[in-house]
Amino acid sequence: MSTKFQRVRGTRDLLPEDNVKFRFVESTAHRLAMLYGYGEIETPIFEFSEIFHRTLGETSDVVSKETYTFQDRGGDSLTLRPEGTAGVARAFVSEGMAQSLPLKFYYSGPMFRYERPQKGRYRQFKQLGVECLGLESPLADAECLALAWDLLNGIGISGKCHLEINTLGDSESRARYREALVTYFSQHRDRLSADSKTRLEKNPLRILDSKDEGDRALIAQAPSLHDHLNEKSKDFFQGVIRGIEALGIPYQVNQKLVRGLDYYCHTVFEFVTTELGAQGTVLAGGRYDGLIETMGGPKTPGVGWAAGIDRLSDLVPAEKYQNPEPLLALIPADEKGEAQSLKTAHALRQAGFKVEMLLSGKIGKRFQKADKMQATLALVLGENEVAAGTIAVKDLKSGVQENLTLTALINKLAR
């Protein structure tokens, strides 16, 4: 019986052309994070399940429906990380970093969620993100948003996205709002989805994040969180707004935006696009001042965001990531040329130039292949060139050909 080998549903193979885009997004994010003072951190791709259950919330879709959880051989319950913030918070506590605040971390790597696969959404996906710990100022939120905006600008997609921002207020404001939501949704309990009925008992704010059509109709008439904010929460949010306005970052306040994880407070935001179908959010985050405490650490304010590299790369225009470096096609014309070509290619690569050796097929076919690869120059080595200590160099755009020594060619390319 033959076996059909195929990818697991919801995964993808990143081919070289995909990785060119991914590497461009990651390198741009890495460079900008360094400019903002973020140090790179790498946490394990699996943690004890309690890390995510406690921080993300038992009623969150991520924990209740989407985590890849398993028992290891020692009987411990482990979970593949569905997002990056909880692992960074765990590292902060377990590595005893409280004496070094404030701290800024940047990360990138694979995450795992058992979701319905669709365009821009995979069960194994790559994500990058930043976390700023120890600063309880609205300016920290504004600076975090500035880094996100610079990233979208840097990869050439800021014109395809817009910022939606909201505040969840502090714990006092959310408690007052929770009461108002319970009163309102209890009156319409029979019209709520099964998930939202559960949320009504455990975390009614989560109902606002429901995608169920019936729930959405009720949410449209629900009480507004902004009507239940205390002065401290209003002042904090206005501080964030003043910061992003000073930076010239365009935005819209969306009072229904709540984000899907339990640890958020005060500022929440999403950069949204209309170019990826239903998966419109490309970068999202917010403030999470109580997260570290839930993990047994000291009271530590935090703010951060994460972005799916898969979705970002789908939006990047080709001219931003295509490699501008000239490609040199090295074509040995005979046995003497073949013997010399390896040394010549190695010398050119050591000098920092991209070289592709074309070793098979007739000479004419190899020139056609060089054209198809969009090589800038074809370098031909045969018995005559080896004897003269030169290389026949043909410009594939102009058709001009000249014979140059290796040193002269390197100097020409460097210019």
In the chain the domains, ranked by start, together with CATH numbers, are 16-170+230-319 (3.30.930.10), 325-414 (3.40.50.800)
Which residues have a Cβ under 8 Å from the Cβ of 205 and sit 6 or more positions away?
168, 174, 177, 178, 181, 258
Which residues have a Cβ under 8 Å from the Cβ of 150 and sit 6 or more positions away?
32
- Give whole-number Cα distances, 26 to 16, 45, 55, 310, 348, in Å: 15, 18, 27, 11, 28
Provide the pLDDT for residue 75: 95
Radius of gyration (Cα) for the chain, nearest Å?
A: 28
Asked whether 338 and 359 are in contact (CB, 8 A), the reply is yes
SS3 162: strand
Which residues have a Cβ under 8 Å from the Cβ of 248 and sit 6 or more positions away?
none
What is the Cα–Cα distance from 240 to 51, expressed in whole angstroms? 30
Provide the pLDDT for residue 58: 58
Provide the pLDDT for residue 1: 44
What is the Cα–Cα distance from 218 to 207, expressed in whole angstroms? 10
- Give whole-number Cα distances, 100 to 38, 87, 141, 216, in Å: 14, 18, 20, 44
Q: pLDDT tens string for the chain (415 positions)?
A: 455 789 899 899 999 889 999 999 999 999 999 999 999 999 999 999 998 887 676 555 556 678 899 999 999 999 999 999 999 999 999 999 999 999 999 999 999 999 777 776 889 999 999 999 999 999 999 999 999 999 999 999 999 999 999 999 998 998 898 899 899 999 998 899 988 888 888 778 888 878 788 888 998 899 988 999 999 999 999 999 999 999 999 999 998 887 756 678 899 999 999 888 766 899 999 999 989 998 889 999 999 999 999 999 999 998 887 766 788 999 999 999 998 999 999 999 999 999 999 999 999 999 999 999 889 999 999 999 999 999 999 999 999 999 999 999 999 988 8
Q: Which of 83, 107, 120 is nearest to 310 (CA)?
A: 120
Q: How many CB atoms lie within 10 A of CB 138?
A: 22
Asked whether 170 and 228 are in contact (CB, 8 A), the reply is no
Whether a cis peptide bond, with omega within 30° of 0, leads into 204 is no
Provide the pLDDT for residue 175: 87
Phi then psi dihedrals of residue 105, to 5 deg = -125, 140
Asked whether 206 and 60 are in contact (CB, 8 A), the reply is yes
Residue 107 exposed, middle or buried by CB count within 10 Å (0-12, 13-18, 19+): buried
Longest dimension (CA), the chain: 93
